[in-house]
Structure 1
C-alpha cells in the first residue's frame, strides 16, 4: 500500500501577521507616550513593548513621530466607529449653533481623555520643531477637520443663517483657535460650558441680521 502523504499545512498568512504586528506597535507607542512621555519613548522601547524587532518598525516608519501619528489617527478612527460616528463628522440638523456645540463638546471630551491627551500633546509639540511632521500633522489631522467646519458654515450661509460676506475659513477660527490655545498653553480649563460660550460669541458676530 502506498504511503499516504501528510496533509499540507496552510501557508502562514503574512497579511494577518503584519496586521497583528502593526496593531501591537500602535498600542505600544500610545502606551509608552502616556507612561514615560514622548522624549523618553524610543523605537527600541516600542519594539520591545510590541514584541517585534526594531527593523520591523523602521521598515514601515522612519521615526517614532510617524509611528505615533499613525497610531493616533487609528485610535481616533476606532473611537469614532465605536460611537457609531464618522470620524470628525459635523452634523447638519439645520441648527448651526447646536451642531457646532455638539462637535466641540465631543472635541473637549477627546482632549480630556487620557488615551488621547498624551499623544495629542506630543504630536503638537513635536510638530513645532519637526517641520516635516508638523506639515503631515496639519495635512492628515487638522486640515480635514477645518474643511468640515468651513463646509458647515457655507451650508449655513446658503440657508441664510450666516452673513454672505463672511469668510468661513476665517470665521471658524473664532471658536476653534481659542480652544486650541487654551488646551495647548494650559491657560484655563476646557469644558462644555466654555466651548458653548465660544460658539455663542462667534455666532453673535457672524450670524445673519
Structure 2
C-alpha cells in the first residue's frame, strides 16, 4: 500500500512566487509601467491579489524583485582584473550596454527608475540591495588600479565611478539609440585620461 506524501507548501509558495515575478516582467514589457497593475499580474500568474500583497507592498517593489531575479541577485562578482584597466572597464561597460538594450531589462529598469523617484522605501531598498553593492565592486577595481599606479593617488573613487558609469546611464535614459559599444569605449578612454597619474 503506497503512502501519500503531503504537498510541500514551501515548494508551492516558490512556484507561485516565480510565476508572479515572471508575469510582472512580461506584463511591464507589454503594457508599460503606468498600466501595470497588481490585478493584471495576479491574473497572469494564476494567483490571488492577496498572495502578491502578502509578499510585496507595491508594484514597484514587486518589479524590483522581478528585475533582480532576471539579473541574478546574489551573483554579483568582482569586476575583471587582467591588469589592463581600460580593457576591463570596456568589457564591463559593453556588457552593460547589451543588458540595457535587452527589452526584458530595458522595460523593467525604466519602470524602476520612475518608481524610485516617487517611492523613498523602494529607493532605499534599491540602494541597499543593488546600487551600493555594485558601487563597492566598482570602487574595489579602481582601488586596485590606483594601487598599481594606473590612477592618480588623489583620485576620489566615488567620483571616478560616477565619471565612468554615469554617462552610460544618462545616455540610456535620454538617448538609448546612441548607446553603443563605441560610445562606452570613448567614455573609458576619456575618463581614464583625466584620472591618470600626472
What TM-score, normalized by structure 2, do the two folds share? Answer: 0.95
Distance 1:71 1:21 in 2: 13
Q: Can you give the 5+ residue segments of structure 1 that lack an aligned partner in the other structure?
A: 1-5, 81-85
Name the counterpart of 1:100. 89
Name the counterpart of 1:39. 34
Distance 1:143 1:191 in 2: 25
Name the counterpart of 2:173. 184
Name the counterpart of 2:56. 61
Name the counterpart of 2:126. 137
Distance 2:2 2:15 in 1: 27
Distance 1:187 1:72 in 2: 19
Task: Find runs of 4+ consecutive structure 1 residues off by over 3 angstroms.
Answer: none
Contact 1:163 1:208 in 2 (8 A): yes
Matched, 1:200 2:189: yes
Q: 1:187 to 1:7 in 2, by over 3 A?
A: closer
Between the two proteins, the alignment pairs up a number of residues equal to 198
Tell me whether 167-176 or 29-38 shows the greater mean CA deviation. 167-176
Aligned 1:110-121 pairs, distance under 5 A? 110-121=99-110
How far apart are residue 130 of structure 1 and its match? 1.4
Deviations 1:124-164 (A, max 9, x none): 01111112212222222222211111111100111111111
Distance 2:72 2:159 in 1: 27
Contact 1:123 1:137 in 2 (8 A): no
Higher relative contact order (CA 8 A, sep 6+): 2
CA RMSD of aligned residues (A): 1.6
Matched, 1:13 2:2: no
Distance 1:89 1:151 in 2: 8
What TM-score, normalized by structure 1, do the two folds share? Answer: 0.90
Matched, 1:155 2:147: no
Distance 2:26 2:113 in 1: 17
Tell me whether 179-188 or 115-124 shows the greater mean CA deviation. 179-188
Q: 1:39 to 1:24 in 2, by over 3 A?
A: same
Name the counterpart of 1:51. 46
How far apart are residue 190 of structure 1 and its match? 0.3
Name the counterpart of 2:19. 24
How far apart are residue 89 of structure 1 and its match? 3.7
